[in-house]
Amino acid sequence: MSSLRYLENIVTLKLDTEKCVGCGMCAVVCPHGVFTIEERKAQVVDRDACIECGACAGNCPVEALSVKAGVGCASAIINGWLTGEEPSCDCGGSC
Amino acid sequence: MRWGLGRSRYTIAPGLYAIGTPAGDSPVLVTANYKMTFDIVRRDMRGHDAWLLVLDTKGINVWCAAGKGTFSTDEIIRQVQRANLQQLVNHRTLIVPQLGAPGVAAHKVHKACGFKVVYGPIRSDDLPQFLRTGQTATPDMRRVRFTLTDRFILTPVELASMWRYTLWSILALFILGGIGPQIFSFSAAWSRGIIAVTVGLLGLFTGAVITPILLPWLPGRAFATRGAIAGLATGMLGLLIFSASLGWLNSLALLLAVAAVSSWCAMHFTGSSTFTSPSGVEKEMRQAIPAQAAFLLVGGLCWLAAAF
Ligand code: SF4
Ligand code: SF4
């Protein structure tokens, strides 16, 4: 689905290759094919496809990954601006 | 799939359910207590024997519940213990839908209750094949798609969640429509109001229905841009039909308003998609909202001026 891509170069995903033990979990959970595993190390091959869902970071057993995960829905972000808090998805259960 | 109204009717009780006649060696599938998700999993697993462990996600689908933190490591551990799963099955594997992964830490589940989390396919219709092939997913099973049908299904949700604002806007448009040389005229409120409301609804429809459906083919990356472009297009179409009776001020107003409303609605569609990152959406909104406001303001002033 290369025709459907979002904005470039703003994703907060970080991989610490030193820490990585090559278990492959990040490649399994990522819904957008951001990682491949080569020579027992994870590699970010498609950074701009990342949607910051946080699945990889949460499932990495050695905390080699970090990403500012959150909800990407516009009403949640507006809520966040208005209340000065982290965006939360309280759209009356409509999420 | 998400509708704004009547959520509670779509919830089922959390706990352990049987599909077919499962035994000690049957697989355990984990899912959300959103009734539609539950029904789809049962339908896709027809003819198989399995346990279905339903988490309490407050009736919300797996993906959104994982984002909200109700489809979580702790909730899995809680339900595993509540169902006494250790006694019931002779293996130690839970099959968790991959879209639940943002809320779950597989290694923590394992540590806390001894069950290994295996992430299953994204779509439950791939489950039978996943089980047949020794719980392995093909790369295709691991990728989200955002197909025409997916996008089409999400559109009614967008409309349902916007009806409140829509009603207030309609009221405001009728009141503003009455302002004119005679200070306020009820006949003008009606005749001009009805046109303004039509324009607003055209924008809503373009942003919330047409834009999501045509998404891959619209130029631009930001949803707001794509919505604005689609809005300009339908606005032009509207002008071709009505322009004779409108005059240039009203025409300009129509074009700007349809684009602004459409862009705003399209921007809200971002939350329904599995193709947007929060950082991206926030950046998009910082740029888009001032532009939308400016369009709407200029369009609105043109419309008000056209009354005199
Ligand atoms: S945050 Fe989500 S989309 Fe981004 S790399 Fe991790 S798993 Fe993939
Ligand atoms: S989950 Fe962590 S340790 Fe495993 S491959 Fe990915 S980055 Fe490396």
> What is the C-alpha separation between B128 and B95, in angstroms, rounded?
12
pLDDT at B221: 76
DSSP, collapsed to helix, strand or coil, labels residue B110 as: helix
B287 or B27, which is more confident? B27
Please report the residues numbered 153 through 192 in chain B whose beta carbons come closer than 8 angstroms to any beta carbon of chain A: 157, 160-161
Quick: pLDDT tens for B192-232: 888 888 888 888 888 888 888 888 888 877 888 898 999 99
Disruptive mutation site among B33, B111, B277, B286 for chain A (greatest number of A CBs within 10 Å): B277
Are A75 and B271 within 8 A, CB to CB? Answer: yes
Beta strands in chain B, from DSSP E residues, in sequence order: 15-19, 28-31, 50-54, 93-97, 116-120, 179-180, 183-184
Cβ-defined contact of A31 to B143 (cutoff 8 Å): yes
pLDDT at A92: 38
Cβ-defined contact of A1 to B146 (cutoff 8 Å): yes
Indicate whether B155 pLDDT > 70: no
Tell me which residue in A11, A32, A94 faces B157 most closely, judged by beta carbons.
A94
> What is the C-alpha separation between A86 and A89, in angstroms, rounded?
10
What is the model's pTM?
0.71
Q: Is the CB of A44 under 6 A from ligand 1?
A: no
Rounded mean pLDDT of B53-68? 86
Q: Which domains does chain B have, with CATH numbers?
A: 7-145 (3.40.50.11600), 149-305 (no CATH)
CATH class label, A14-70 = alpha beta
Cβ-defined contact of B276 to A72 (cutoff 8 Å): yes
Are A72 and B280 within 8 A, CB to CB? Answer: yes
ipTM above 0.95, yes or no: no
Residue A21 touches partner B, C-beta closer than 8 Å? no
Degrees to nearest 5, angle at CA A51 with B76 and B165: 90
Distance from CA of A42 to the nearest CA of B (A): 16
CA of A45 to the centre of ligand 1 (A): 12
Quick: pLDDT tens for A11-53: 789 999 999 999 999 999 998 899 999 999 999 998 888 888 8
Quick: pLDDT tens for B233-284: 998 888 888 766 677 888 888 889 999 989 988 887 665 566 667 777 778 8
Q: Is B303 exposed, middle or buried (0-12, 13-18, 19+ CB in 10 A)?
A: buried
Q: What percent of chain A has pLDDT over 70?
A: 62
Residues having CB within 6 Å of any atom of ligand 2:
A 20-26, 37, 42, 60, 62, 64-65
Cβ-defined contact of A94 to B139 (cutoff 8 Å): no
In this structure, what is the dihedral angle of CA atoms B166, B172, B174, B176, given to the nearest 10 degrees?
-140
Q: Is A9 exposed, middle or buried (0-12, 13-18, 19+ CB in 10 A)?
A: exposed
Six-digit token string for A53? 């869902």
> What is the C-alpha separation between B188 and A56, in angstroms, rounded?
58
Rounded mean pLDDT of A66-75? 72
Ligand nearest to the CA of A25: 2
pLDDT at A6: 60
> For chain B, what is the mean pLDDT?
84
